[in-house]
Amino acid sequence: MHVSGGRKACVLFISRFLLFFSLQTFEKLLIANRGEIACRVIKTCKKMGIKTVAIHSDVDANAVHVKMADEAVCVGPAPTGKSYLNMDAIMEVIKKTRAQAVHPGYGFLSENKEFARRLVSYFYLLGYPVMIKASAGGGGKGMRIAWDDEETREGFRFSSQEAASSFGDDRLLIEKFIDNPRHIEIQVLADKHGNALWLNERECSIQRRNQKVVEEAPSTFLDPETRRAMGEQAVALAKAVKYSSAGTVEFLVDSSKNFYFLEMNTRLQVEHPVTECITGLDLVQEMIRVAKGYPLRHKQADIPINGWAVECRVYAEDPYKSFGLPSIGKLSQYQEPLHVPSVRVDSGIQQGSDISIYYDPMISKLITYGSNRAEALKRMEEALDNYVIRGVAHNISLLREVIVHPRFVQGDISTKFLPEVYPDGFKGHKLTDLERRELLATAASLYVAEQLRSQRFLGTPRIPIAKSKRSSWELSVRLGDGNYPIAVSKDGSSFSVEVDGMKLNVTSEWNLASPLLSVTVDGTQRTIQRLSRNASGDTRIQFLGTVYKLQILTKVAAELSKYMPEKAAEDTSSILRSPMPGAVVAVSVKPGDTVSEGQEICVIEAMKMQNSMIAAKTGKVKAVHCKAGDTVGEGDLLVELE
């Protein structure tokens, strides 16, 4: 298959292991087999313009596959153990002929794990870094980047285990990893009559753990010429393999708009709704029509780009832990933002649904559409603010920060966007001084509104109650490390709030029974969510997507609180707690063992992803509180050090 710049792609097939040379100039393939399968591979390579090297025993010197190949090398006498199963001899031929991939056919070494391992030790042809990933699936599961031999061995272990757990198939691919690319894919649609279309591109570069988080269509990066070239090659691939149905051809695109074939997903992609939004096609309907045998109803010239669409994947995850470790629980309250114009929500859950450790943590796909990108992003911002999810942690704070970040708004993105923008991990929205004052004024007004509501009675009480005529309050609000004196006065249906010596006007309908509150501060409208409160004045408010913890007290109560002792923080350096709910896959230590800082202690699997838990310091193991097969919750104690 030809891709940009004349590069070619080839696959090394081994039943246990697949080595994929998709991003390196590829000219020569060695066939580690004989007979009809060797002839079959050589014929295919000739069509692809790839030179071939045949190996043979001495008695096969005049075999058909030997004559067909561009080069042929004898690897030993007739006994298979001395020829076609002779790994040392075959490895020498690979080095001597500078073959860049191996096709083992079937039988012989095709399912030999040791042969696969030796080929991986030889992948210096690729050069580091490399991507190790599951051949049978996607979604970031069974995928690791390795920068050296040690990371490759570790990546092989974790990736093969995740692949087996997620897809029932532990085969892997290794491919050259291109640092800092864009991930752009082409949607194709083909029928059983030889017709195929490309339905424009999807930009999928915002990823965490190699799994897409935010997608959009079209891409800000592609010009019409590059879009057409990528589309034509995607269609050529579909036709070459006689593909029929909807499918996706994925590419990596560098800063010079060179694009490199990554893989083809022969299924419906998670992010297909953004394509449906800008083309007007129902891809599921088209798949059903094609399966029934109908020809495509459209021509390439009929496929438009109308407007812009953005999709955010809403996950039950804690984005403050490695950009999203799984969260489990029951959705105690759930309300989709369908009242926002041009919003689509694809979900399979409802209020009361359980999010478990056993399946993918996706809650929904949130899609917004606009006549242009700015409009689609503004609607997404509004939709995220109006999305009510209670009972599990979720990643709305991260999604909102991504779509409003200046780099994303300008289209300056790559697959490394998240680690580049948040090198120390995601910390939530960083308030400006103005936003801080807005939040403090809103929280103080909400507190007073609740105080006033608690003084109202329905009906006529039997005992007359004196009505409070109080119209001003002096409060102390703690936010983060700061304590702020705040004065609130009621002015008709609004509040006048003094923060930092500045007065702000706060208005709202103050429907405290609603999970959503629309509040206007000095003319700026915000949609907030008050998530919790208690008698100690502690309250949690979702503001600009991020949840902030505040403590709101009267001035007198704040003075008295100084005399209350604070609970000492736990020393976490000597203990290892599970950062997420999951199942213990392996425990690598026992009491009395000495461990080094950074050494693996155990492995936790959650939602088919394996996570290595490491020691925070060097020390001796005091106690182990888990074993392989145990189910653990977030915060459960796993191991103690002396």
- What is the domain partition of the chain in residue ranges? 28-125, 130-176, 182-421, 433-453+471-562, 575-641
**β-strand pairing of 524-533 with 308-315:** unpaired
What pLDDT score was predicted for residue 99? 84
Classify domain 433-453+471-562 by CATH number: 3.30.700.30
Q: Which amino acid is at 263?
A: E
Spatial separation of the C-alpha atoms in residues 505 and 488, rounded to whole Å: 10
**What's the pLDDT tens digit per position in 234-277?**
999 999 999 999 999 999 998 888 888 888 999 999 999 999 99
Confidence at residue 22, expressed as pLDDT on a 0 to 100 scale: 36
What pLDDT, on a 0 to 100 scale, did the predictor assign at position 26?
61
Q: What is the pLDDT of residue 636?
A: 94
Residue 494's pLDDT is what? 92
Handedness of CA 440, 444, 445, 446 (dihedral sign): positive
Q: Look-up: residue for tokens 């999951």?
A: 582
Q: What is the pLDDT of residues 374-388, one digit of tens each?
A: 999 999 999 999 999
Q: Output 452-456 pairs: Cβ under 8 A, ≥24 positions apart.
A: 452/490, 453/510, 453/512
CB burial of 409-434 (b: ≥16 within 10 Å; e: otherwise) equals eeeebbbebbeebbeeebebbebeee
Burial of 559 (0-12, 13-18, 19+ CB in 10 A): exposed
Hunting for tokens 């599961």 — which residue is that? Answer: 141
Bridge partners of 251, per DSSP, are: 184, 261
Region 593-600: what's the mean pLDDT? 91
DSSP assignment letter at 536: T
Considering the entire predicted model, what is its pTM?
0.74
CB 199 within 8 A of CB 309: no
pLDDT of amino acid 2 = 24
What confidence tens digit (pLDDT) does each residue in 23-40 have? Answer: 334 678 999 999 999 999
Token pair listed for 253:
């695109």
When pLDDT is cut at 50, 70 and 90, the band that residue 20 belongs to is: very low
DSSP secondary structure of 109-162: TTT-HHHHHHHHHTGGGT-SSEEEEESS--TTTTEEEESSHHHHHHHHHHHHHH
How far is the C-alpha of 132 from the C-alpha of 293, rounded, in Å? 37
Please tell me which residue, 53 or 131, carries the higher pLDDT value.
53
Instruction: Tell me the CATH number for domain 28-125.
Output: 3.40.50.20
The residues annotated as belonging to the active site are 263
Q: What is the mean pLDDT of residues 626-630?
A: 94
Please name which of 223, 222, 233 lies closest in space to residue 198, comparing C-alpha atoms: 233
At residue 15 the predicted structure's pLDDT band, cuts being 50, 70 and 90, is very low
CA distance 613 to 636: 13
Q: What is the pLDDT of residues 62-110, one digit of tens each?
A: 999 999 999 999 999 999 999 999 999 999 998 888 887 889 888 899 8
The pLDDT assigned to 134 comes to 84
CA distance 524 to 172: 52
Q: What is the distance between the alpha carbons of residues 119 and 19, in angstroms, rounded to a whole number?
A: 8
Does the pLDDT of residue 400 top 90, yes or no?
yes
CA-based torsion, 297, 303, 304, 307: positive or negative: positive
| Contact between 523 and 434 (Cβ < 8 Å) | no
In degrees, rounded to 5, the angle at the alpha carbon of residue 463 between the alpha carbons of residues 457 and 469 is 55
Over 70: is that where the pLDDT of 18 sits? no
- CB-CB contact of 143 with 174 (8 Å): no
Q: Which contiguous run of DSSP H or E holds residue 251?
A: strand 245-253
- Quick one: CA torsion of 205, 208, 209, 211, rounded to 10 degrees? -60
**Locus of tokens 């959650």:** 606
Residue 581: half-sphere exposure toward Cβ, Cα within 13 Å: 16
Q: How far apart are CA 504 and CA 95, in angstroms?
A: 75
Mean pLDDT of 117-131: 70
Higher pLDDT, 14 or 132: 132
Secondary structure E strands in 342-464? 343-347, 354-355, 362-370, 388-390
User: What average pLDDT does the chain have?
Assistant: 89
Q: List beta partners, residue 520.
A: 507, 525
First to last CA, the chain: 58
Looking up tokens 């997420």, which residue turns up?
Answer: 580
Q: pLDDT tens digits for 152-165?
A: 888 888 888 888 88
Assess whether pLDDT exceeds 60 at residue 9.
Answer: no
631, 583 Cβ separation under 8 angstroms: yes
What pLDDT, on a 0 to 100 scale, did the predictor assign at position 531? Answer: 96
Question: Strands 172-176 and 18-21: what pairing?
Answer: parallel
* Averaged pLDDT for residues 583-589: 93
Query: Residue 145 in contact with residue 181, Cβ under 8 Å?
Result: no
Does 21 score more than 50 pLDDT? no
Tell me if the domain spanning 182-421 has CATH number 3.40.50.150.
no
User: For residues 495 and 553, what is the distance between their CA atoms, to the nearest angstrom?
Assistant: 18
- Using DSSP, state whether 282 is helix, strand or coil: coil
d(CA 75, CA 327): 55
Residue 24 has a pLDDT of 38
Task: Pull the structure tokens for residue 342.
Answer: 């041009």
Of the two residues 146 and 338, the one the predictor is more confident about is 338
**pLDDT score for 127:** 64
402 has pLDDT over 90 = yes
DSSP 570: P
Query: DSSP letters along 187-210, please?
Result: EEEE-TTS-EEEEEEEEEEEEETT
Q: In CATH terms, is domain 575-641 a member of 3.40.630.10?
A: no
Other beta carbons within 10 Å of 161: 17
State whether residue 23 is helix, strand or coil: coil
* Mean predicted confidence (pLDDT) in 522-537: 95
- pLDDT at site 631: 92
CA distance 218 to 173: 29
The pLDDT value recorded for residue 182 is 94
Tokens at 623, concatenated = 């106690």
Question: What is the mean pLDDT of the segment spanning 519-540?
Answer: 95
Q: Say if CB 171 and CB 595 are below 8 A apart.
A: no
If phi over 0 gives left and psi between -120 and 50 gives alpha, with beta otherwise, what is residue 543? Answer: beta
Q: Using an 8 Å Cβ cutoff, are 380 and 310 in contact?
A: yes
pLDDT at residue 138 is higher than 70: no
Question: Which tokens in the block code for residue 581?
Answer: 């709910």
Predicted confidence at residue 123, as pLDDT, reads 54
In the block, which residue shows the tokens 């029932």?
Answer: 168
Q: Is the pLDDT of residue 460 over 70?
A: no
**Per-residue confidence (pLDDT) for residue 147, from 0 to 100:** 82
Residue 302's CB: how many other CB atoms inside 10 A? 12
